[in-house]
Amino acid sequence: MQRVAFKMYLKPGFSEEYEKRHAEIWPELKQLLSNTGVEDYSIFWDKETNILFAVQKNNGEQSSQEIGTNPIVQKWWDYMSDIMEVNDDNSPISIPLDELFHME
């Protein structure tokens, strides 16, 4: 199992909307993530910087950040693009983070 962490950027003033949209995550997106091997996926919010910190465990070949060619993912990106900092293709600006310490 691989652990993956990355950060993204929430636009100011959209924390409640971000939380609402994720509380109503589309079943087809959730199923796609599971089918890809993504599990135990959490996103944390730093209120001072509007940085979103995500961490997930992956049993498959790809993380959630590597399935962007899927139409469901692209539709989710479009849906989220008004409240997050995004690239030209509406994918969230996402910066991978290196793991320096882990304790079980």
Picking from 62, 60, 59, 88, the residue whose alpha carbon sits closest to that of residue 74 is 88
- 102 catalytically annotated: no
Distance of CA 59 to the CA centre of its chain: 17
Which residue among 22, 44, 87, 89 is the active-site one? Answer: 22
DSSP-derived secondary structure letter, 70: S
Beta strands in 10-73 (DSSP E): 38-46, 51-58
By annotation, the residues acting in catalysis are: 22
